A and B are shown apart, each in its own frame.
Chain A
Amino acid sequence: MPSEKFFVKEDLYNKLEELSKEFEIIGPRELPNKGIFYQSLKNTRDLYLGEGFAIEPIKRFFLKPSEWIFDERFRENKNILEGIPLPADKRIIISVRPCETRGLTLLDKVFDSDYKDNFYINNRKRTIIIGLACNKPAKNCFCTSMGGSPIESRGMDVLIFDMDRGLIAEILTDRGRELFASIGEGLNEGQRRLLKEDKEKKKDLVEKKLSPPEGKELDKIFESDYWEDVSRPCIGCGICTYLCPTCHCFDLVDERRKRLRCYDSCSFPDFTLEASGVNPRPTKKERYRQRVFHKFDYFKKNFGENLCVGCGRCIRHCPVKIDIADIVDKVPGLKKE
């Protein structure tokens, strides 16, 4: 049963200051003229608690953009493979948006199910997540169409609501309870009512909508020219995939006797380039179609959910304004209510 606590921002800053002795505190920080970035906060007062959205999602603290996975060296005339030690320091990531944590719950299905990825699981275990409900979704947000909402708390330890007079924290796990044991006080009747009203209000904040395809609908138009039309403006950069809270494709590279796992993107021409020289996805059409199918077809068949949380990052940051929600919504031959 979740419990709630009320405190003011000042209390939170002080609490984080205290916690920073034991935990690494990671949170969004606004860099002037650059945007909002999750960073390890040396000064907890740099923490951004506004309405904006970080450019990169928290994915990079769990599935790192590049990760050394083993080290090969010669010792006593022997070739030795050594694993890279897993970091053990504990972290708190704070002011995380609901869509980003939902992204993690989708990544869990890939990296912590039949296949157990030690790096990812270790990062998950050592991190406490404190979310921040959205007061003002951006015009590209469409989380409610993807099963999320501005107040969704899945995957979080604590979810904070920024009310006019202070903050209300919904404590969701034991880890969260322990963390917030000595801060703030329980809600009175009025605050409880305010929170309830606030939650109701926030549910309807998101204006952008799309109806995701159902069942095998996408299968039928795999060969359609539609994909060629919609992928024409695509310039083939990695922005949409790298900034996506759920995209997780990676490449393995050997560098200086070490093996590196780093992000890769289905929009790059050499993503599926085979050693023989054959590329099964030779043009933008096949590459963009793969992005849509992985998100709205293959993943759904394998794991029962769409691989999209509707955070709108790929739309917001696309240099040529490709709108995946619009493209999926207008897929020809889809049933419309």
Chain B
Amino acid sequence: MIDRIKKKAEELLRTKQVDLIIGYKRAPDGVSVAPVFIDKAEETKELIWDTYCVYNLSNYLKDFRGRKIGIIAKACDARSIIVLLQENQLKRKDIFIIGVECSGIVDEKKLLSISPQTSELGFDERCRSCKPSKPPIYDVLIVQEGQRPQAPRLEKDPYGSVRKSEAKSISEKFKLWQEEFSRCIRCYACRQICPLCYCPRCVADQTQPSWLSRAHSFRGNFTWNVTRAMHLAGRCIDCGECERACPVGIPLRDINKKIEKDVKELFNYEAGLSAEQKALLSCFDKNDPEDFIR
């Protein structure tokens, strides 16, 4: 599989179809993976593909607006590319998507706690509620050859954990999130790693007026985390990068999933499945159930 990825990347650079390839390479530690940016055809041999390729590389597309970019995309990454296209953040002709068939990626934090003897891979939770193994958008698709590797066990109900949390009382939920948000260090890694957080000036950085307290208190932390999640309503494609990046282990996907479920139930909409579809919160429908909007 990796040979075909390298060959395609090499060809794209050599024929000048793209200026730059965004892909994965081995990190200095020899095990994990780091993002790599390649502009010379001969350097494409650095590329790799395995279950450690955890990053959603589409986050980097905004750094290269206006240039021709080739990008290696898993199913979840491709879904965020779709949202970026819907929201006019990218031009389709500027990007060449090398779609890769994915059979789940690892949870590096979980791996640390699993002894090397266990054969079962520590798959990321996000992969257990991801339906497609093939990207919904691509220019070329590279599929797995031969026997498919063991894939993560899919959750029967992708919203099972949301339902469990919905069943709790408000005071219980508040106490839980109070504890979780109390650890927030306001490093904004959740925002920076998110492909869909591209506001030129984030509400959290505004000072005149200042919308949320910079103090490391529950009030400021709560406002920040809820604002972030709400701004992704109908847009989040659950790539889970925010939760992976969070250094203090706040279960951000739980919030994202809750909003995703609400959006699905209210509007029968799932983000990032088709580029032809209009973005949920920026379109108007005559059949909208709410009176005020008609």
Q: Say yes or no for A321: interface residue by CB 8 A criterion.
A: yes
A238 touches B186 (CB 8 A): yes
B177 → chain A, closest Cβ, in Å?
14
A235 touches B214 (CB 8 A): no
A56 touches B216 (CB 8 A): no
B247 touches A55 (CB 8 A): yes
Known: A139-B29, A243-B247, A320-B55. A56 touches B185 (CB 8 A): yes
B35 touches A320 (CB 8 A): yes
Interfacial chain A residues near B213, Cβ < 8 Å: 255
Complex interface: stretch among A30-38, A84-92, A190-198:
A30-38
Interface residues on B, range: 35 or more
Interface residues on A, range: 35 or more
A122-175 contacts to B (CB < 8 Å): 139-140
Contact count A vs B, C-beta below 8 Å: 101
Q: Say yes or no for A326: interface residue by CB 8 A criterion.
A: yes
B187 touches A238 (CB 8 A): yes
Q: Say yes or no for A116: interface residue by CB 8 A criterion.
A: no
A65 touches B247 (CB 8 A): no
Which residue from chain B places its CB closest to the CB of A253 in the assembled complex?
Answer: B214
A149 → chain B, closest Cβ, in Å?
22
A253 touches B207 (CB 8 A): yes
Q: Say yes or no for B147: interface residue by CB 8 A criterion.
A: no
Known: A66-B216, A140-B29, A321-B33. A33 touches B249 (CB 8 A): yes
Q: Say yes or no for B281: interface residue by CB 8 A criterion.
A: no
* Bound: A34/B246 CA distance, A: 10
Chain A proximity mask over B225-260: 1 for CB below 8 Å, otherwise 0? 000000000000000010011011100000000000
Which residue from chain A places its CB closest to the CB of B55 in the assembled complex?
Answer: A320
* Bound: A264/B211 CA distance, A: 18
A321 touches B210 (CB 8 A): no
Interfacial chain A residues near B244, Cβ < 8 Å: 319
A238 touches B188 (CB 8 A): yes
B37 touches A66 (CB 8 A): no
Interfacial chain A residues near B207, Cβ < 8 Å: 253
28 A-B residue pairs with CB within 8 Å: A33-B249, A34-B248, A35-B248, A35-B249, A37-B248, A55-B247, A65-B186, A65-B216, A66-B217, A233-B35, A235-B192, A235-B193, A237-B187, A237-B192, A239-B245, A243-B185, A243-B187, A255-B213, A262-B214, A262-B215, A263-B186, A268-B188, A319-B189, A320-B34, A320-B55, A321-B28, A321-B32, A321-B33
User: What are the 9 tightest A-B residue pairs by CB atom distance, in nearest-first order?
Assistant: A238-B187, A237-B189, A319-B245, A34-B249, A237-B192, A235-B192, A326-B28, A65-B216, A321-B34
B residues lining the A interface (CB < 8 Å): 27-29, 32-37, 55, 59-60, 63, 183, 185-189, 191-193, 205, 207, 210, 213-217, 241, 244-245, 247-249
